[in-house]
Amino acid sequence: MSSQTSSPEITFQPDHSGGTSRIWKIFWVLSVLTIIELALGYFLYLKSGQLSDIVVLSTKCVIGILTLAKAYYIVSVFMHLGDEVRNLIMTIVVPLVLFVWFIIAFLYDGNSWKNLRNTNAGSKPNQIEQVHKEVIEK
């Protein structure tokens, strides 16, 4: 059996002769990563209210990193991006670096919004509740 070159743009046909063992290996990797994520999520649930902020935050960061690892395996192996030439890989991956700025800038903005909300300059929640109560009592 041979697969023909599907289009004239393809100069070098990637090697697809391997078996399915790599696919199943990645399936197990993804499953194990998901189970670890779930275990950490369950740990946060069981210990909620008892952990310091820094432990909660670092556990969530670990879960985030495991998610990025899953994303890497899906894109690289299942979507076969890892088998493509470097030119194509770079044109897909490099623009995604924008997300680094995107995430930092917007979460920082959200956080500063919250800080403002809790000062007298913003709309302090307990003040709103008081005003609300007065309106209801009238």
Positions that interact with another protein (CB under 8 A): 1-7, 9-17, 20, 23-24, 27, 30-31, 34, 37-38, 40-42, 44-45, 48, 60, 63-64, 67, 70-71, 74-75, 77-81, 84-85, 87-88, 91-92, 95-96, 98-99, 102-103, 106-107, 109-111, 113-114, 117-118, 125, 132-133, 136
Output 106-111 pairs: Cβ under 8 A, ≥24 positions apart.
none
Nearest to 10 by CA among 92, 94, 95, 88: 88
CB 21 within 8 A of CB 73: no
Give the nearest distance from C-beta 78 to another protein in angstroms: 5
Give the nearest distance from C-beta 120 to another protein in angstroms: 16
Give the nearest distance from C-beta 25 to another protein in angstroms: 11
Give the nearest distance from C-beta 63 to another protein in angstroms: 5
Secondary-structure breakdown of the chain: helix, strand, coil percentages, each rounded to the nearest 5: 70, 0, 30
Q: How far apart are CA 90 and CA 92, in angstroms?
A: 5
**Shorter beta-carbon distance to another protein: residue 48 or 52:** 48
Q: How far apart are CA 81 and CA 14, in angstroms?
A: 11
